[in-house]
Structure 1
Amino acid sequence: MDIQLAQNKLFGAWDSGKNGQNPMQSYRIVNERKWQETIDPLKLFLGVVIGRGSFGVVHKGTYQGQPVAVKVLDFGDTKITEASMAFVKEDFVKEVNVWQTLDHPNVSKMIGATMSMTKNCRQKTKKKNTESNFCIVCEYVRGGSLRSYLSKNRHKKLPFRTAIRFALDIASGLSYLHSKKVIHRDVKPENMLIDKQHMTIKLTDFGESIFEPSELLYTTGERGTRGFMAPEVVARKPYGRKCDVYSFGICLWEIYNCDMAYTFNIDNLTPDIYREMRPLISVNCPKSLAHLMERCWDTDPKKRPEMKDVVVLLEEIEKYESFQTVPEDLHGGCFTFFRF
């Protein structure tokens, strides 16, 4: 089925709920109609665990003899009811439907997905009973997550040109997503992989991603990760793709500083306090980069730039700063203080 047609039917189904039809039932029907197995589980080999997320375990594996990463849904110790499983299946299908449409150098490539992994897949290690039959197979990116890379280089920091290159890769990937009407909704270093061979960044994990509707969304709960989550999302107000721009601004700070923006628990902060909190930018940070950070994490989504414009601005910063001297002792980054 054509993706745009399916997308229109999906949001049409939600609207029809106002006329008496159950919107979740319509959503399920559309997803069921779109779903089909896109890999052969018999050709999938599941290896060691290389990463964990909120609802998924990532294994290194092989598919048709080629190295791959396999994201398997994992419910932990939670006992899943039949009703809950229906919603889990919907979310899984939604992620697959978003991810399989994407093709960009700065987005990890999805190879396929299956809902019948356990009974057919060969496994090097015994899979826990809490893991489901649902898995997504994507390209294996050698180099690990950006979070791991930043942690390893925390004390020596990244060369300025490397930091800008990484930021450009992320901005290019997000600009592509937005051009395809996709909102990532969980932009953070943990969801970015480093291609060690080419030293490029690839966005991954589209479990929170959605196709952007014509009108702003309204969420009844937080989506994403505190610290990178835009204030309007925390406050449960209408939001759109500019929530990704806010997240990018925090990521830009972390890449430049090679550190975490928040080292204390912010999960219980009220929306009013969270709204005013930002990492402090030191005087050592080039003004052009500092200004871009501030624009991206502006409280007002309308004042944040589009990601395609961020790409242009970063390219200009890269060209300008390449003619400037940025001493390594001055690129010690911003200190971990915060403004309220």
Structure 2
Amino acid sequence: MVKEKKWTKEWFEGFIAGAVAIVVADLLIAQFILLSGHSIWLRLFLPALALGAAAVYAFKKQFGGIDGIEKLIPTVRSSPAASTAPEGPDSNKMQALALQGQGQLDQAFEKFRRIQPVDSRLLDLLYNLALEFERKREFKKAESVYLHITQTNKEYRDVQQKLSRAKRLAETEILGVGSMSATASPVAAKTAIGTEKPMLGRYQVEKELGKGAMGVVYLGRDPKIGRTVAIKTMALAQEFEAGELLEVKQRFFREAETAGRLSHPNIVQIFDAGEEHDLAYIAMEFVRGSDLTKHIKPSDLLSPSEVLRYVADAADALDYAHKNGVVHRDVKPANMMLLAETKVIKLMDFGIARLADSSKTKTGMVLGTPSYMSPEQLSGKKVDGRSDLFSLGVTLFQLLTGSLPFKADSMATLMFKIANEQHTNVCTVRSDLPPQIDAVINRALQKTAEARYSNGNEMARDLRAVLSTLS
């Protein structure tokens, strides 16, 4: 490194000395030729020499000679810092604002922190950055920004109150959306005494109720009217490619709006839908009970009369939805809630599987459950209410027997069986069932939609006819 520095200095000295020598030599030669051959005195000779001397003097005064000019050149190449020009406050500020505009808040804060001195304008920018962290529920990061502000001005606006609030909320362990997986908890709140409860839209999040394929379900409360709701969240940005995201969101809100118009005693009511930083959510009626998945085990089956009654009520609900232009697309035991006190069945999650039109998400997950899908839904064709009745037929078979009518070791084999093979006779699996139930299931599970029940009312009628033979 020392040799490199010495070489650079000598090179500059030689270059400058050589340049001056060449100019002076050229002037002397030109003056000698003109004076001896043509008796011409070059009037600019002396002024040129004086100008050269002045240039050398100015160079030395401006840069301090070679020792000064070499400081402007990154000669010490072994040090990265020596080859990097320092960033100015204006440059850092512009970069920080650009990063903040792109949503890269962490990098923006790093740029803001480098700016010195800290003036009132910069405090305003930092304050706005902290508010943006709060909107994203990244309260620990908001706390860091507020703390940075207080190091310059403890009396700035309401920074002390903001700092205290951010500290309290950071203790509730709210996890950011950007770091979660499809089944991770986006608002996993462990609320301590005296802390504020996290919010999702206008709803207070009370506790986690469970996890689904695309997100988490929470118990929430609308503080304005005191209504308790279930909040189903879906991390759409985690599940869909960026190019599809806008279309998926539009479809999500269309489906939520359409399903929200449904009002039926056997359908879970949807109250609201919204979005918080790429986290979509639906606020719906909170029902106390459990879904029917625990009753698909052979050891915990419901009685045939209970199954027939619940499925008939579900068929009525589907008939109502279909007449209002809503297809469920994911009928299965997990989406059938049995109320604990009244023993009423309620269908939920209308239109959720519509998000991808039976296509896969970027994590490879198929929206909708293949074992319950109709042949046309599995093949990606347009579906109508008769597809839901196929799924209800599969559900009926499973609730009665504890097994699925179509089973396979791979997705390809399962799809082939659903589309081409006849299902097992339900009475073969369970001999104590009335033979009439086999006719209902056979019609519901026809391969073509035209051969099935044309509407849910017909299926409900036949199910209640079978039920009447059991009483």
Instruction: Give the TM-score category using the shorter length.
Output: 0.5 to 0.7
| Structure 2: segments with no counterpart, 5+ residues | 1-198, 361-365
RMSD: 2.8
| Alignment-mate amino acid for residue 465 of structure 2 | E
| Alignment-mate amino acid for residue 399 of structure 2 | I
Report the equivalent of 2:282.
Answer: 136
Question: How far 1:182 sits from its partner (Å)?
Answer: 1.4
Question: How far 1:244 sits from its partner (Å)?
Answer: 0.8
Check whether the contact 2:268–2:347 (CA below 8 A) recurs between aligned residues.
yes
Question: How far 1:76 sits from its partner (Å)?
Answer: 8.3
Residue 195 of structure 1 is aligned with which of 314, 318, 339? 339
Report the equivalent of 2:459.
Answer: 310
Question: How far 1:264 sits from its partner (Å)?
Answer: 4.8
CA deviation map 1:84-121 (0-9, x unaligned)? 431231132122122111000010011212224x7xxx
CA deviation map 1:272-309 (0-9, x unaligned)? 43313424423412111111001000112111012110
> What CA distance in whole angstroms lies between the structure 1 residues aligned with 2:407 and 2:417?
16
Check whether the contact 1:298–1:304 (CA below 8 A) recurs between aligned residues.
yes
Report the equivalent of 2:427.
Answer: 282
Structure 1 length-normalised TM: 0.68
Report the equivalent of 2:156.
Answer: none
Check whether the contact 1:167–1:255 (CA below 8 A) recurs between aligned residues.
no
Structure 1 or 2: more strand by fraction? 1
Check whether the contact 2:316–2:460 (CA below 8 A) recurs between aligned residues.
yes
Report the equivalent of 2:257.
Answer: 97
Report the equivalent of 1:109.
Answer: 269
Residue 86 of structure 1 is aligned with which of 231, 238, 246? 246
> What CA distance in whole angstroms lies between the structure 1 residues aligned with 2:285 and 2:359?
33
Report the equivalent of 2:377.
Answer: 233
| Alignment-mate amino acid for residue 288 of structure 2 | R
Structure 1 or 2: more helix by fraction? 2
Change (3 A) 1:133 1:220: closer
Check whether the contact 1:56–1:75 (CA below 8 A) recurs between aligned residues.
no
> What CA distance in whole angstroms lies between the structure 1 residues aligned with 2:404 and 2:425?
12
CA deviation map 1:29-49 (0-9, x unaligned)? xxxxxxxxxxx9565121333
> What CA distance in whole angstroms lies between the structure 2 residues aligned with 1:109 and 1:300?
31
Change (3 A) 1:187 1:266: farther
Check whether the contact 1:59–1:70 (CA below 8 A) recurs between aligned residues.
yes
> What CA distance in whole angstroms lies between the structure 2 residues aligned with 1:270 and 1:163?
25
> What CA distance in whole angstroms lies between the structure 1 residues aligned with 2:446 and 2:407?
21
Change (3 A) 1:236 1:311: same
Residue 291 of structure 2 is aligned with which of 145, 152, 159? 145
Change (3 A) 1:46 1:261: farther
Change (3 A) 1:95 1:239: closer
Check whether the contact 2:237–2:279 (CA below 8 A) recurs between aligned residues.
no
> What CA distance in whole angstroms lies between the structure 2 residues aligned with 1:319 and 1:282?
18
Question: How far 1:246 sits from its partner (Å)?
Answer: 0.7
Question: How far 1:234 sits from its partner (Å)?
Answer: 1.8
> What CA distance in whole angstroms lies between the structure 1 residues aligned with 2:359 and 2:470?
43
> What CA distance in whole angstroms lies between the structure 1 residues aligned with 2:446 and 2:239?
38
Residue 216 of structure 2 is aligned with which of 57, 69, 84? 57
Bigger radius of gyration among the two: 2
Residue 69 of structure 1 is aligned with which of 230, 234, 254? 230
> What CA distance in whole angstroms lies between the structure 2 residues aligned with 1:186 and 1:53?
13
> What CA distance in whole angstroms lies between the structure 2 residues aligned with 1:100 and 1:134?
15
Check whether the contact 1:171–1:308 (CA below 8 A) recurs between aligned residues.
yes
Report the equivalent of 1:17.
Answer: none
Structure 2 residue 445 is matched with structure 1 residue 300: no
CA deviation map 1:130-151 (0-9, x unaligned)? xx44211111111121113444
Check whether the contact 1:95–1:209 (CA below 8 A) recurs between aligned residues.
no
| Alignment-mate amino acid for residue 312 of structure 2 | L
Report the equivalent of 1:48.
Answer: 207
| Alignment-mate amino acid for residue 68 of structure 1 | V
| Structure 1: segments with no counterpart, 5+ residues | 1-39, 119-131, 211-217, 323-340
Question: How far 1:240 sits from its partner (Å)?
Answer: 2.4
Task: Answer with 256-265 or 195-204: which moved more.
Answer: 256-265
Match runs of 1:206-225 below 5 Å: 206-208=350-352, 224-225=368-369
> What CA distance in whole angstroms lies between the structure 2 residues aligned with 1:279 and 1:50?
36
Aligned length: 259
Check whether the contact 2:217–2:231 (CA below 8 A) recurs between aligned residues.
yes
Report the equivalent of 2:28.
Answer: none
> What CA distance in whole angstroms lies between the structure 1 residues aligned with 2:252 and 2:236?
13
Change (3 A) 1:161 1:220: closer
Q: Sequence identity, in percent?
A: 24
